[in-house]
Structure 1
Amino acid sequence: MKKRTTRQRLTGSLLAVAAGLAVFHSVDACTRVLWNDNELATVVGRTMDWPESTDPVLTVMPRGVERNGGLTGDVVTVEENPATWTSKYASMVTTIYGIGSADGFNERGLAGHMLYLNATDFGSRDPSKPGVQAGLWLQYVLDNAATVDEALELLDEIQVVMTEANGHQSNVHLAIEDASGDSAIVEYIDGEPVVHHDREYQIMTNDPTYDQQLELLAEQDFSNPSSDTPLPGNVKATDRFQRAAYYLEMLPEPEDEREAIAGILAIARNVSVPFGAPYKDFGIYNTEYRTAINLADRRYFFELTTSPNVIWADLTKFDLEDGAPVMTLDPDNIDLAGNVTASFMEAESAPF
């Protein structure tokens, strides 16, 4: 994989960046914010922005689940040399359309988030590499890796393959982080994987590509934020990227988990798109849900935008042994509030 390290940027000028911005697709979705420089715990939050329900289900999967990376639901997406594996680690995820995981983490404290990127190009199928349909890209990582370093090594061994669900193609890029605070952004551009790997890569939104987002961010100095700092206020991806970076610099040192999660969710709400926003006119999707993860203590927080309550669950309280049941919870329930660990129900089988 091509790798970019600390503060490396594209060699092209900002003029070229501006030209790229003029042509990228207008549909934007999602923001990820990683808070890895406080003394309490590595915490991360994201928004899921989409024009319809993605049928999110909170799902706990034990070790020992067998997967076939060539299946999108019941449809064979990768006919030749699909990747197959058995999960090494248990995980808690939010599913998307029942074909994969959009967000989540595993028992070792590795987390990941798939966000929309119109510029995605997975390239032509190379049957010499095991193929994983893009909906299972994150799940493959959570099943098999304990750290960002391990995840990046594993991703060298497979090829991610475009799939489709509910009429939408899987134009996605992947953000991963671990309990130590390490971070990486993985994008497929012009058929090749491009990796940005460093703790400093805390923010991710959508188009343009990550190199160009960093170029735009470099034009602003948010290291000493103040009320006089100019800040873009629109809902497009470039504005959300810079606004999230600005507010992340403002967060005070948390005294406990409650303050840490409150801080990261406050940023997620700030970069959210109002429910019911006219995406067909704006080219912007409204926020469906927000999540936050405490990677130190393995707790997952979830906030559906049509519900007044934040809910959370503790992965360490589930039976994660090989052979244990898959446990699920439908968050679209206005009566759910607070700690819902005991509200998960046994599923007949793993969703994928």
Structure 2
Amino acid sequence: MCTRILWNTNALGVFVARTMDWPTTTEPKLIIFPRGRQRQGNHLGTTALEMANPARWQSRYGSAVVSMYGLGTVDGFNEQGLAVHLLYLTATDFGTRHPQKQGVHAGLWGQYLLDNAATVKEALDLMAQIQPVMITIQGFASTVHVAIADASGDSAILEYLNGELVIHHGRQYQIMTNDPPYDEQLAYRAQFDFTNATRQTPLPGNVDPSHRFVRADYFLQVLPEPRNQREAIASVLAIARNVSVPFGAPNKVPGSLYNTEYRTAMDLTHRYYVFELTTAPNILWFPLEKFELHPEAPVMMLDPSHPELAGDVAAQFAPVAAAPY
């Protein structure tokens, strides 16, 4: 469970936030990858998956990402301002493996796009070459769909349903949550008219993905124009907090409700990243421009769970001898 909010209708820039909702910790790490990294689509931590025709590539762009279990990227943007967000979708079906397409395990799907594309259009063109491959992490199948956005404000939602890639492409696709598939989410959202909304207008108030979708979209439409970057980031984070799932929320059906572990916000115009653990009152941030991204630069990493971290943490990143992926 997660929520993604893209604000591409203000005059200041393109801002995007997301929540990460999961039943246990995802062991998130903040990672800076320089360009020129050699990768392959079957690489899984210290092992390799059995996979026909795995993709092999060298990254064209450096990126700032959040990892999950050290096995892949679930959130991040690259130096060109392309952002990816992986969210859970039970209906995901990557279909029968087609070895004529290069395979990329689902945990590296987002990183593949960050490494190779500068815009949403370029990322969509790349999808003709690859096929995501399902993996299991900590007992959970990687049934994910992906939201992408770029510094121009373009957006796309990518889902695999019944083995086929379904794409919603356009600036209007600002919100994404989880189940049901996106067409059904849009149909549910269409039932609500907030043209003349007041504080008495009823809003779906639970933590079901469809409720979060409508609520996030409503508040996004009424955000005031920001006066500066600080206000813009605070605005999208406010919506992310509004649709977060508090610890202890009722969960009568095991596996049906995940608490929010962290939130991120990005300024894609100025390449600025914000991270907030829900178990700590501190907000962390860093501008990508403070990092070396040339091919000889080291991979830099930070564990955001350290309680003393707050504010601009660029100087707290440390080089790692061996990158997790």
Deviation at 1:261, TM superposition (A): 0.6
Residues 205 and 241 of structure 1 are in contact (CA less than 8 Å); yes or no, is this contact kept in structure 2? yes
Would you say 1:229 and 2:201 are equivalent positions?
Answer: yes
239, 258, 261: which one pairs with 1:285? 258
Take 1:79 and 1:35, find their aligned partners in 2: how far apart are those partners? Answer: 38
- Asked if residue 220 in structure 1 is aligned to residue 204 in structure 2, the reply is no
Match of 1:69 in 2: 41
- Could you tell me which runs of 5 or more consecutive residues in structure 2 were left unpaired when the two chains were aligned: none
SS at match of 2:198: coil
Distance in 1 separating the partners of 2:50 and 2:9: 40
Shift of 1:155: 1.1
Letter in 2 for 1:42: V
Deviation at 1:230, TM superposition (A): 1.7
Deviations 1:279-332 (A, max 9, x none): 464621000000000001101000000110111011111000011000000000
What amino acid is the match of 1:217? R
Tell me, in whole angstroms, the C-alpha distance in 2 between the residues paired with 1:191 and 1:144.
24
Work out the CA distance in 2 between the residues paired with 1:346 and 1:226.
51
Q: State the partner residue of 1:308.
A: 281
Q: Deviations over 1:3-46 (max 9, x none)?
A: xxxxxxxxxxxxxxxxxxxxxxxxxx000000000000100000
- The residue that corresponds to 2:83 in the other structure is 111
Which deviations, in whole Å up to 9, do the C-alpha atoms of 1:19-75 show, x marking residues without a partner? xxxxxxxxxx00000000000010000000001010100000000111011122233
Matched, 1:201 2:173: yes
| Deviation sequence 1:150-208 (CA, Å, 0-9, x none) | 00000111001001111111000000000100000000000000000010000000000
* Identity percentage of aligned residues: 59
Match of 2:240 in 1: 268
**Which of 292, 299, 305 matches 1:319?**
292
Report the counterpart of residue 7 of structure 1 in structure 2: none
Q: CA deviation at 1:130?
A: 0.6
CA separation in 2, counterparts of 1:315 and 1:286? 29
Distance in 2 separating the partners of 1:74 and 1:167 = 18
Alignment of 1:1-352 (within 5 A): 29-277=1-249, 279=251, 281=253, 283-352=256-325
Q: TM-score, normalised by structure 2?
A: 0.98
Give the TM-score of the pair, scaled to structure 1: 0.90
CA distance in 1, matches of 2:221, 2:127: 31
Q: Secondary structure at the match of 2:122?
A: helix
Q: How many residues align?
A: 324
Structure 1 unmatched runs, 5+: 1-28
